[in-house]
Amino acid sequence: MTVDPSILERIIPSAEEKERINRVADEIREKACQELARRNLDAEVRLMGSVAKGTYLCDPDLDIFLLFPPDFPSSRLEEEGLAIGDAILKGEKMYADHPYIRGIYQGLEVDMVPCYDICDTSCLQSAVDRTPFHTRFILENLDEKMRDQARVLKAFMKGVGTYGAEPQTRGFSGYLIELLVWHYGSFQSVLEAASKWKEGLVLGDGIKNQSMQGPLVVYDPVDRRRNVASAVHVDTFALFITAARAYLRHPSSLFFFPVPRTPLTMDEVKQRMDGRGSRLLTVSFSRPCINHENLEAQMWKAEEGLAKVLESLGFHVLGSAHVVEDGLIFAFELEDDVLPPVRLHVGPPVWVSEAERFLHKWKEMGLDRPTIKNGRWQVMVARDPRDAVSLLQGEKERISLGQNMDVESMCVHGHQDSLQADMAVVLSRLLDRRYPWEIPEPQAE
């Protein structure tokens, strides 16, 4: 089984497109060299990333690296790197280990990144110093045909929603995708293998360490202490397995080029909820001024933190979702959003000294006398309030949010209040459980 030629045609850039990209890359490299000469700096300019490796899709980003000698002072590396990037790109300052400049040049997004030209990954000064080794490894180990296979796998990962190591996707980086093709040989064989993957898979040889806890470990062939798949979340891993199985069963272009999802209308949302009997809860926060990646990581953490507190209060979370819009919005589907009027409050064992205080307090406030169960005091107490909105508000200090999120801006909306037009996107994400490849093409009239 091979990928349909009409699909390949849409994935692999044409000769003209390749030429255009290379021309732009050469132009920038030339300019950077001139800037370095003008400043009397002994550094090398090198094209990196997917364009250098020949594994890029349409409209790739360009990664231009400025390689300074290892003894070049770190503060000057930053300063000169930013100045050169700024002179050519007039872009924005971005942050990785070191700041760098991102801008647009002739319609392409360009990152200009200063790093150290080291001879060995054991002398790393920052994570970007590893990139030149990755580029070289792929160029030396993947021939033209395999690079195209990497492009196909990348397009598939993009289509099914597993591409990208950033917190939003928690998925497979470009380099990881290239290594998978190198390991298994082709797009098809990666998918066949993935359809049989199990959690805890290890590919390649390396030096195992404690932090390699994820569902997938792929040792970096240029640095055996590193897991290239460390960003892959178990749910992204499972999603890729699911997508691979689905594609092998019924291959289709929808895996590569899914139909964009139209958010559910509020009528559709209401229809789904009516038939079901579950309850909605939405929680919004003001949006902090931090970069998108960092914010996404905090969104995942907060979604988990909110769900945890809801569960600890006695609610059962059926599903959850989040979006970043003007504000941050989280949506939860709950079994029920009002708890029964009574609950059991479990206290300390009878023999500890706090027991007297517990008894004293609850003899008055309990609905009944405290009793002993499994050696502990317990007492029936009235639940007041009983609704999810008030209960969650009351526990807001206990929710583990992202560090830049403002708990004071938290606003909790009950079922009816959540069924508003401005919640359509987050509710759609919560309730539209179709995979990207399951969304049908619009019917021609």
Least distance to a second copy, CB of residue 265, Å? 18
Query: Of 430, 438, 11, 4, which Cα lies nearest the Cα of 239?
Result: 438
Residue 311 lies near a second copy (rule: CB under 8 A): no
Among 286, 373, 406, 407, binds a second copy (CB under 8 A): 373
CB 259 within 8 A of CB 441: yes
Residue 344 lies near a second copy (rule: CB under 8 A): yes
Least distance to a second copy, CB of residue 278, Å? 5
Residue 133 lies near a second copy (rule: CB under 8 A): no
Binding characters for a second copy, 188-217, by CB under 8 A (x = yes): --------xxxx---------------x--
Closest to a second copy by CB, 175 vs 377, is 377
Residue 360 lies near a second copy (rule: CB under 8 A): no
CB 159 within 8 A of CB 252: no
Residue 357 lies near a second copy (rule: CB under 8 A): no
403-432 residues in contact with a second copy (CB under 8 A) are 431
Least distance to a second copy, CB of residue 338, Å? 10
Residue 342 lies near a second copy (rule: CB under 8 A): yes
Closest to a second copy by CB, 184 vs 285, is 184
Residue 351 lies near a second copy (rule: CB under 8 A): yes
Among 372, 385, 400, 406, binds a second copy (CB under 8 A): 372
d(C-alpha 8, C-alpha 122), whole Å: 39
223-262 residues in contact with a second copy (CB under 8 A) are 234-235, 237-239, 241-242
Among 73, 327, 349, 394, binds a second copy (CB under 8 A): 349
Residue 127 lies near a second copy (rule: CB under 8 A): no
Least distance to a second copy, CB of residue 365, Å? 14
User: Which stretch, 56-64, 108-116, 168-176, 338-346, contacts a second copy (CB under 8 A)?
Assistant: 338-346
Closest to a second copy by CB, 225 vs 373, is 373
Least distance to a second copy, CB of residue 54, Å? 33
Closest to a second copy by CB, 260 vs 375, is 375
19-38 residues in contact with a second copy (CB under 8 A) are none
Among 38, 261, 270, 434, binds a second copy (CB under 8 A): 434
Closest to a second copy by CB, 341 vs 385, is 341
Q: How many residues of this chain interact with a second copy, rule: CB under 8 A?
A: 44
Note the residue count of the chain: 445
Site residues (vs a second copy, CB under 8 A): 196-199, 215, 234-235, 237-239, 241-242, 275-278, 316, 318-319, 335-336, 339-344, 349-352, 367-369, 371-376, 380, 431, 433-434
